[in-house]
Amino acid sequence: MSSTPKKLAAEFIGTFWLVLGGCGSAVLAANFPGAGAENSLGIGFVGVSLAFGLTVMTMAYAIGHISGCHLNPAVSFGLWAGGRFSMSELPGYVVAQTLGAIVAAVVLSYIAYGTIGGDGGLASNGYGELSPSGRGLASGFTTEIVMTFMFLVIILGATSKRAPAGFAPIAIGLGLTLIHLVSIPVTNTSVNPARSTGPALLEGGAAIGQLWLFWVAPIVGAIAAGFVYRWLDEEDAS
């Protein structure tokens, strides 16, 4: 078993990769070379969704054996509720994940705009005016709870001792891809408080004002999934 510093370093690196790869694809490649271009090479919603899924899948294989590859405070809370993770390790994981996301946002901002922060978008999450389709608070809150709930069901199921070995990263990565395909138009898809925090802190303004939703809703959905799956996965007495 890896030491705590190694686990936290792995979570920092993994979450850094998730935000840089996922948000980076949205900022740099989703609409390339730009709106109105005759021959667009942009990857669009589908490409961005796949990018987020690939970051999780690749890191699951790379660091899953070190830290469990949570990369997400909501996942850590959900695994705790599901009896898979110790509460004593939770604060350290949340801090490492959030710092990794912030550093990734800083790097992405510099790559995309040549500055740290400023007016350039970093694929932040939001509702109302910040929603890609203008959907409101209730829609955004519901989406984030439900999508995070299902994400944790996938994670807990794919990593169960009774599940086929070796396939969990693929199921989890594809699950996150599907979640993005559904919910990018609603909130730009969070299901991850750390992923939301990095871009919001650099964008500032309304993105910070709406950040609370992307901590509360994913954690609520994750904890609910943890308790539900813990019950589902119990072996019935014969």
pLDDT tens track for 110-166? 999 999 876 779 999 999 999 999 999 999 999 999 999 999 999 999 999 989 889
The Cα-based distances of 43 to 31, 40, 113, 194 in angstroms read 7, 9, 20, 24
pLDDT band at 238 (very low <50, low <70, confident <90, very high): low
**Residue that wins the pLDDT comparison between 192 and 33:** 192
Range of 31's domain?
A: 4-232
pLDDT tens track for 158-214? 999 989 889 999 999 999 999 999 999 999 999 999 999 999 999 999 999 999 999
Q: Does residue 171 form part of some domain?
A: yes
- CATH number of the domain within which 154 lies: 1.20.1080.10
In this predicted structure, the answer to whether residue 41 has a pLDDT above a threshold of 90 is no
Q: Does residue 18 form part of some domain?
A: yes
- Average the pLDDT over 22-51 and give the result: 87
Q: Does residue 54 form part of some domain?
A: yes
**Residue that wins the pLDDT comparison between 176 and 41:** 176
DSSP E strands in the chain: the ranges are: none
In this predicted structure, the answer to whether residue 1 has a pLDDT above a threshold of 70 is no
Q: Does residue 81 form part of some domain?
A: yes
Q: Does residue 98 form part of some domain?
A: yes
Q: Does residue 175 form part of some domain?
A: yes
pLDDT in the model for residue 237: 55
Q: Does residue 237 form part of some domain?
A: no
Number of structural domains in the chain: 1
Please give the Cα distance from 124 to 104 (Å, whole number).
13
Q: What global pTM score does this model have?
A: 0.95
3-state secondary structure of 187: helix
Q: Does residue 238 form part of some domain?
A: no
Please give the Cα distance from 143 to 171 (Å, whole number).
21
pLDDT in the model for residue 117: 78
pLDDT in the model for residue 132: 95
Please give the Cα distance from 143 to 227 (Å, whole number).
19
pLDDT tens track for 68-117? 999 999 999 999 999 999 999 999 999 999 999 999 999 999 999 999 87
Within 10 Å of residue 172's Cβ, how many Cβ atoms? 23
In this predicted structure, the answer to whether residue 29 has a pLDDT above a threshold of 70 is yes
